[in-house]
Amino acid sequence: MTASTASPMTKKGHRRSTTARQNLFGWLFVGPFGIIFLALLVLPIGFALYLSLFQKSLIGGTRFVLFGNYAKAFTDPSFLDGVWFVISFSLVLIPLQMAVSLAIALILDILITRFARFSRLMIFMPYAIPTVIGALMWGFLYSDNFGPLAELFGIFGAQAPDFLSRSLIFWGLLNIVTWQWAGYYMIILYAALQGIDPTLYEAARIDGASQWQIVLRIKIPLLTPALLLILVFALIGTLQFFNEPKILQQLAAGAIPDDFTPNMYAYQQAFSLANQNYGAAISFALGAVVFVCVYIFLFATRKRGSFLS
């Protein structure tokens, strides 16, 4: 009787030790990422939030102002103008990016030759180029002094458009961002197209549907989740616009001021004017704007069922 009772207890103890060992291995795998995540993301964000609640001055020193910096940010013309710019930029850029990436994905989905594989690689390649290098490359192409665009127009006795001027910088940046991200979004859409059951196309052809009808009534509706994902990614990224205008600022000859976008304005406050407290508040204020915009869009699409309907 003692042996019969000891056997289940032994098995139970063995299961506990096995579970504890598995948990230990799990924490060993997760631990390095957790440490890096805390050290490089959570703690800096927490410290920035702490800084945003204080105000530093030469006379009064550092004092706690709670939401004073945030109230100042949402009444600051420079910050509000930057927010309006990135919103207007998003309204033009995002539909353009989605249209270009969708068109390319649909074309490549039809092609089954080796050229299609090569085309996917070439179209995706701009995304693999670092933002700094891409912006510098386009700055060279846009240059009216030594850029190839100016030489090309010079052959025909015409003057090339100056995409680094104040009047055309919007379109110059629009081209750069579209060029860099359209390939990435194309890959997402192309992967979604590969997941569609081919029997749907066969059934549509049997019913007499043309290729254009298959695209409009089968492919695009089934791509709605992927298109929604792309739109959210693009909206978040565009509202935080920083790299391209910052790199081109020195080449644009006054067309890109320090408060061109909210992130650039936060950078100026924190690093050029040594006003880290207000710069941190601007960053969190921009985060609030991004959250509100994304939430409104997701709520609207959830209510309607699809942003394409």
Query: Is-contact 277 54, C-beta < 8 A?
Result: yes
- In this prediction, residue 306 carries a pLDDT of 53
- Tokens found for residue 155: 């052959």
Query: Rounded distance, CA 177 to CA 171, Å?
Result: 10
190-243 per-position pLDDT tens digit: 999 988 888 888 898 888 888 888 888 888 999 998 999 999 999 998 988 999
Whole-model pTM?
Answer: 0.83
Structure confidence at residue 26 (pLDDT): 80
DSSP β-ladder status, 61-64 and 54-57: antiparallel
Architecture of the domain defined by 74-304: Orthogonal Bundle (1.10)
Which residues of the chain have a pLDDT value below 50?
1, 3
Token pair listed for 177: 């961002």
| pLDDT for res 93 | 93
What contacts 302, CB < 8 A, 6 or more positions away?
A: none
* DSSP one-letter code for 217: I
pLDDT recorded at residue 120: 84
* Residue with tokens 């015409």, as numbered in its chain: 158
- What is the pLDDT at residue 10? 63
Q: Give the amino acid at 22.
A: Q
> Looking at the DSSP assignment, which residues form a beta bridge with residue 64?
54
User: Apex CA 111: angle with CA 109 and CA 116, to 5°?
Assistant: 95
Give the pLDDT confidence score for residue 1 in this predicted structure.
Answer: 47
